[in-house]
Structure 1
Amino acid sequence: MNNQDNFTPYITFDRNDWASLRSSAPMTITEKDIEELKGLNDVLNMDEVAKIYMPLSRLLYLHAKASRELYESRNTFLRTKVKKVPYIIGIAGSVAVGKSTMARMLKTLISRWPNKPNVDLLTTDGFLLPNKVLEEKGLMNKKGFPESYDISNLLHVLSQLKSGNERVTAPVYSHITYDVIPGKEQEIESPDVVIVEGINVLQPPKITDAKTLDQISVSDFFDFSIFVDADEKNIFQWYVQRFKILKETAFRHEDSYFRKFAGIGDKEAYDMAKGIWNTINRTNLLENILPTRSRADLILYKGDEHLVESVKMRKI
């Protein structure tokens, strides 16, 4: 074996080794919290919180604390007094892998740190181009691909946050109408921590020529980044399960973009979900999402049961 094969920027932990890093951090989550936070077909329980999320919360607390101390030391060095800026955490990964549940869980845990920080969650769905624009550009079948987002607006919002603006607004997306809601905005006020969740948030800038070499990317604003990983076959099964649940719930809403699919049979739902997966989500996963995995500070790998089996943490 070539010695180079042993070189890796990550330290790997199995589930039990990672769980031991929780140390004496107190449990701040209840069974009721878990029921309110988990997604449609996510598997989330107290054991997962204790073994995976509590150590992760402790790690983030240490990183955020060190970042704040460095920020203050830099101000002392520069003899300046710059406004407080939020600690930004990015969460990436495929559709249906459980990013949203993870983001909500971390938001709750972080808000219960000893210093009680003000935490906001920003999802990149709001930065998708409106359906009308996507249709005009011929991108409706590439919704979720990097080119389907208003990246300049997302970068503007993140720049405002990292500039210390006390109040920042962001567009809001509806999973019922499957579109950005005109005129509706999310207000983010004086946050200490902001969690940015989205499938393509670790995308590097697209370099087309020498003029774009200094272009910035969304992840340039992150202080810490997480990639939620799983085998493709499992993500596909979770996607199908979620589609079947949605056809009996959200799709039945009178304003649902997918209302015509409400109540269809399981076989038809499976075939439809499989078609969408193969033509859109799988392509996006292989071409755009997976290639960004190695850019994350932490990779959480989920096994067959939707539970985290191993963790890779980037070496410092």
Structure 2
Amino acid sequence: MTIDALCQSVIEKLDTAHQGRQLVALSGAPGSGKSTLSAPLAKALTARGLKAEVVPMDGFHLDNRLLQTRGLLARKGAPETFDLDGFMRLCQALKQADHVIYPAFDRERDIAIAGAAEVGPDCRVAVIEGNYLLFDAPGWRDVAALWDVSIRLEVSSQELEARLIQRWLVHGLDHAAAVARAQGNDLANARAIDAARLPADLIWRAASAFET
């Protein structure tokens, strides 16, 4: 599937006569390509007359100090290491309010920054990307009820592992540490996501590179 085809499928499932903002969920495991896909999808929707902006879930990572206190720092990225209530409030606000300010995640510094991003009143579609947007677990399944359209990214386990190792190499880990980080935490989260899937409206089966 190409970006244009995905965009058309999304539009067909949206209520284009709806005057409020609609939410498109882009869900998948760590390293599945959510950030890579979300921007061109938002651009394609905007080109079709539906002004769209990307809203990452990553701004709701709990702070490392809080994770350390809870003994969860090594599991950062697992469902219990996010501010689920805060994320739910954001999604509800995106449905109800014209102008919404929300936290963004600085990956280089590994911290969430409050009030660092915003969605304006001209945005008709928020493309929300995150790991647990279609996660069948208490709390998370309540968030999933807010999606107007949901998309799940699917990647083979071999490709996913290669991407995750490369991610940590880029962030400065040596090869052994990158493999340990990918296998010890990221792939564990990927397996949890796979084991507790909610249905998706659309499936994007990712290859090593996106079609254009």
* Shared fold, TM over 0.5: yes
Say yes or no: does 1:277 pair with 2:173. Answer: no
User: Does structure 1 conserve the Cα–Cα contact (< 8 Å) formed by 2:165 and 2:179?
Assistant: yes
Partner of 2:202: 298
Partner of 2:5: 55
User: Does structure 1 conserve the Cα–Cα contact (< 8 Å) formed by 2:161 and 2:183?
Assistant: no
Aligned positions of 1:201-280 closer than 5 A: 201-206=133-138, 217-247=142-172, 261=173, 269-280=174-185
Distance 1:120 1:307 in 2: 20
Distance 1:240 1:97 in 2: 12
How far has the Cα of 1:52 moved from its partner?
1.3
User: Does structure 1 conserve the Cα–Cα contact (< 8 Å) formed by 2:134 and 2:198?
Assistant: no
How far has the Cα of 1:197 moved from its partner?
0.2
How far has the Cα of 1:291 moved from its partner?
2.7
**Paired residue type of 1:286:** R
Aligned positions of 1:71-110 closer than 5 A: 71=18, 84-110=19-45
Larger Rg: 1
Q: TM-score, normalising length from structure 1? A: 0.62
Q: TM-score, normalising length from structure 2? A: 0.90
User: Does structure 2 conserve the Cα–Cα contact (< 8 Å) formed by 1:203 and 1:218?
Assistant: no
Task: Give the 4+ runs in structure 1 shifted more than 6 A.
Answer: none
Deviations 1:41-75 (A, max 9, x none): xxxxxxxxxx51111111122222xx144x5xxxx
How many residues in Structure 1 have an aligned counterpart in Structure 2? 210
User: Residue 129 of structure 1: SS of its match in structure 2?
Assistant: coil
Partner of 1:35: none
Aligned positions of 1:81-160 closer than 5 A: 84-113=19-48, 115=49, 117-160=50-93
How far has the Cα of 1:198 moved from its partner?
0.6
Q: Which runs of 5+ in 1 are unaligned?
A: 1-50, 72-83, 208-214, 248-260, 262-268, 309-316
Change beyond 3 A, Cα 1:99–1:216: closer
How far has the Cα of 1:302 moved from its partner?
2.6
User: Does structure 2 conserve the Cα–Cα contact (< 8 Å) formed by 1:88 and 1:221?
Assistant: yes
**Aligned-residue identity in percent:** 21
Q: Which runs of 5+ in 2 are unaligned?
A: none
